[in-house]
């Protein structure tokens, strides 16, 4: 019985692999649809609470004191066409980014020095630990006195909101690196620079981006309160915090919620940008 030979030219070609787009991967992700369903349920409960209060006189805890989502959407449609609203966005984003970037530029090297140099850590860690529990908002009165302008005071308080979180995460990440990696590299003749650039810094990157994401959220919290306390300038350039405060003084609950939602969207987009950058810098973490 003779063996049957197959002609490679007659075999069908393997199917071409097409990489799915980001949109296709998102739409096929069950977590996306669960999150969307949760958001829709929240909006329906919120709308039902407002309807029961206004139409039937039934008080639903928390929701009865809020305007319905339809009223908030109507207020948002009026606000988004005003240039002052978008100027508030620009001012808050500018303050957050300046304070956050300064915190990164100072906090990351400071945390690494604390991790790799015992003498530096013995000198600077105690005062750092004394200052760290102080809430950033407690610095607002002192910042308004010490800094010549409200703008510099807001940026300084915003910087503090991210600085301590970044340093703690960098320090913790660097000190969790297995010392056996360092000893193995030293036994093969690695210099101090090689230890830092090839082991310590890559091993600390996950903690750096975790601290950056957490610090970004704190920064938005701080800038909102700092703009309220300091006044932030005028309503057209006072930032989203001052937009919320002026809406409160004007008795417009719908505009207050529009400002709150704006802060939430801005914070989400900022954190998403950091996560996207982390995926680019650390491609090995995409599998998790």
CA 154 to each of CA 140, 143, 234: distance values in angstroms, whole numbers, following the listed order:
8, 8, 14
245 CB-near residues (< 8 Å, 6+ apart) = 227, 228
Residue 175, both tokens: 């000190």
* pTM for the predicted model, two decimal places: 0.79
C-alpha to C-alpha distance for 238 and 85, rounded to whole angstroms: 10
* DSSP letter (8 states) at residue 288: -
Mean pLDDT of the chain: 82
Class of domain 68-287: mainly alpha
What are the domain boundaries of the chain? 36-66, 68-287
How many Cβ atoms from other residues are within 10 Å of residue 274's Cβ? 19
How many Cβ atoms from other residues are within 10 Å of residue 200's Cβ? 20
| pLDDT reading at 217 higher than 80 | yes
Is 176 strand, coil or helix? coil
C-alpha to C-alpha distance for 29 and 37, rounded to whole angstroms: 13
Residue length, the chain? 288
To the nearest whole percent, how much of the chain has pLDDT over 90? Answer: 14
Beta carbons of 222 and 229 less than 8 angstroms apart: no
pLDDT tens per residue, range 145-170: 888 888 888 889 999 989 999 999 99
């Amino acid at each position: 019985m003779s063996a049957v030979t197959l002609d490679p030219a007659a075999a069908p070609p393997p199917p071409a692999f097409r990489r799915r787009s980001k949109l296709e991967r998102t739409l096929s992700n069950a977590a996306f649809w669960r999150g969307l369903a949760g958001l829709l349920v929240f909006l329906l409960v919120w709308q039902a609470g407002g309807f029961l209060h206004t139409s039937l006189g039934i008080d639903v805890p928390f929701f009865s004191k809020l305007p319905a989502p339809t009223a908030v959407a109507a207020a948002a449609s009026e606000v988004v066409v005003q240039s002052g609203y978008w100027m508030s966005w620009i001012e808050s984003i500018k303050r957050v980014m300046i304070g956050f970037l300064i915190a990164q530029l100072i906090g990351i090297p400071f945390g690494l020095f604390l991790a790799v140099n015992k003498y530096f850590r013995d000198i600077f860690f105690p005062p750092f630990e004394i200052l760290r529990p102080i809430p950033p908002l407690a610095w607002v009165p002192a910042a308004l006195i010490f800094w010549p302008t409200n703008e510099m005071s807001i940026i300084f308080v915003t910087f503090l909101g991210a600085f301590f979180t970044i340093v703690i995460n960098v320090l913790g990440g660097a000190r969790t690196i297995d010392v056996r990696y360092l000893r193995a590299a030293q036994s093969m003749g690695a210099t101090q620079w090689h230890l830092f650039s090839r082991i310590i810094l890559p091993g600390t990157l996950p903690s750096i981006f975790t601290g950056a994401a957490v610090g970004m959220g704190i920064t938005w919290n701080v800038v909102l309160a700092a703009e309220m306390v300091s006044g932030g300038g005028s309503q057209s350039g006072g930032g989203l915090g001052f937009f919320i405060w002026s809406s409160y003084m004007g008795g417009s609950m719908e505009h207050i919620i529009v400002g709150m939602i704006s802060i939430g969207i801005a914070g989400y987009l900022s954190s998403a940008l950091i996560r996207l950058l982390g995926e680019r810098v650390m491609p090995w973490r995409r599998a998790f």
